[in-house]
Homo-oligomer: A and B are copies of this chain.
């Protein structure tokens, strides 16, 4: 995927997404020993970066296919994002969600006019139901992360971050299905100057970490993490990009995730979800282990989203 494809994608979706603010925190700078720039996709439309890829994937469909609608399966943020992007572009959206998905994310999908189909919380059930809907309605299936148009769209957050801070030496992303980090890696490769890309992943679902070690896409035996957006595994479209352009995956404990979440809420007064706190925790851990890589340097962090169920917080 070329630099031109990435920049064209950004031009295409720009009218439909926010160019979100880039914020800083003196305290976190002091902890890291250098400047940290947070790209705040929690302030994005529908509360997460996912609308970037969703809008791009819909905009790339031929008009005749758009009319028949789109279908996806998602544990949360891509569901809301596709519903909102589809509503914005006048397209029906069919959304398969695990019945265990956070209430606020289901409410979001409904509010944006999407039709929800609940299924059991496993990949097979999700894929099966999505295939059924596709067969019945003729809707186009859009995978939340393993789709080139989605990957390019997700990369536009890093495009904007690098426009705002061209001298970043590293960008941290969370790793779930791999769309965001693959897109960000393309952006850093095409537009950055010696800009490394690093992933954050919970120890509990460290499939991407193990996939990079083994050289093939690994699964997770369990999904017992607070970071509900990061339970999915990589796909064959984004894994090669990650292999080529991502320096490493930093794994963090559940305690580190909650501490990082509390730090950002308390100090930056921002609501970020646990999956985003993973990325902050990964930066804090790596800056402790390799301080010279951050000292007096500029580091970017993609804050992926802020869709939190306030009735199920890890504090107190």
A residues touching B (Cβ–Cβ < 8 Å)? 21, 42-43, 47, 104, 262, 265-266, 268-272, 306, 308, 310-313, 315-316
Given A43-B269, A104-B266, A269-B42; A316-B306 close (CB under 8 Å):
no
A305 closest partner in B (C-beta)? B269
Q: Are A47 and B269 in contact (CB under 8 A)?
A: yes
Seed contacts A269-B306, A310-B316, A313-B316; 4 additional CB < 8 Å A-B pairs: A265-B271, A266-B308, A270-B271, A310-B313
Query: What's the least CB distance linking A255 to chain B, in Å?
Result: 15
Can you list 12 pairs linking A and B with CB atoms under 8 Å apart?
Answer: A21-B21, A42-B269, A47-B269, A266-B271, A266-B308, A269-B271, A269-B272, A269-B306, A270-B270, A311-B316, A312-B316, A313-B316
Q: Do most interface residues of chain A lie in helix, strand or loop, or is the interface mixed? A: loop
Contacts of A272 in B (CB 8 A): 269
Q: Are B311 and A315 in contact (CB under 8 A)?
A: yes
Contacts of A47 in B (CB 8 A): 269
Contacts of A316 in B (CB 8 A): 310-313, 316
Q: Are A265 and B43 in contact (CB under 8 A)?
A: no
A47 to B42, CA, bound (A): 20
Contacts of A43 in B (CB 8 A): 268-269
Q: Are B270 and A269 in contact (CB under 8 A)?
A: yes
Contacts of A313 in B (CB 8 A): 310, 313, 315-316
